[in-house]
């Protein structure tokens, strides 16, 4: 075998050996790297919130993905369709107020122990307020708005897939321009409960 052929063979063996070692090292690091943990849930939500001069009971849904056991990204939607909020905007007609809003959710989850977690969440949504004329059963006035929520909540793990949640927060409304109501009428503290079903561990 000629000298240059021997040198070429030695170089080839060296390169292949280094490549194999690098691949083994990469596989070893991949095993050591923690896998991305993904959870999530869907929840039914009850919320008692201010609409001056009283309070309204809203119901809705919320869903989120939980990344690395802490970061929450999701969506929510709430609706108030009760017939208890009524006004005589134009005598003698009676009008009923309904409103709904939906948007995105961003939160951070802190595990206090194996069954309890503390959440800090913010929600940004868009919505609509309607005055419905009861005599005709048809919408009379409607206007859209933006809403911001900041809230804290506690999760209690009943089973591995079922959580009961209690929350309290403060909300602000912007952009509302409709007869009989303004942004400040919807501003204030709210509280509620939710039942979450999903993967939490």
**Number of domains forming the structure of the chain:** 2
105 and 168 share one domain: yes
The pTM for the full model equals: 0.77
> 80-134: per-residue pLDDT in tens?
977 777 776 776 778 888 999 999 999 999 887 889 999 999 999 999 999 888 7
126 and 156 share one domain: yes
Domain that holds residue 6: 1-33
62 and 109 share one domain: yes
b/e burial code for range 148-176 (CB count within 10 A of at least 16 → b): ebebebebebeeeeebebebebebebeeb
16 and 65 share one domain: no
Average pLDDT for the chain: 83
Nearest Cα neighbor of 159 from 106, 96, 194, 114 is 114
Q: CATH code at 54?
A: 2.40.160.20
21 and 96 share one domain: no
């Amino acid at each position: 075998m000629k000298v240059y052929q021997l040198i070429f063979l030695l170089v080839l063996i060296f390169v292949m050996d280094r490549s194999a070692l690098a691949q083994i090292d990469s596989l070893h690091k991949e095993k050591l790297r923690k896998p991305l943990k993904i959870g999530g849930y869907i929840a039914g939500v009850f919320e008692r919130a201010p609409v001056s001069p009283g309070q309204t009971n809203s119901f809705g849904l919320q869903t989120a993905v939980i990344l690395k056991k802490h970061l929450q990204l999701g969506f929510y939607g709430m609706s108030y369709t009760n017939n208890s909020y009524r006004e005589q905007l134009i005598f003698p007609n009676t009008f009923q107020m309904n409103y709904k809003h939906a948007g995105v959710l961003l939160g951070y989850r802190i595990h206090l122990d194996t069954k309890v977690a503390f959440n800090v969440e913010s929600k940004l949504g868009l919505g609509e307020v309607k005055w419905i004329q009861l005599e005709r059963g048809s919408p009379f006035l409607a206007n859209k708005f933006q809403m911001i929520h900041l809230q804290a909540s506690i999760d209690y793990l009943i089973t591995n897939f079922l959580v009961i949640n209690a929350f309290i927060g403060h909300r602000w409304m912007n952009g509302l321009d409709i007869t009989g109501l303004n942004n400040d009428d919807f501003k204030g503290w709210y509280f509620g409960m939710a039942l979450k079903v999903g993967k939490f561990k």
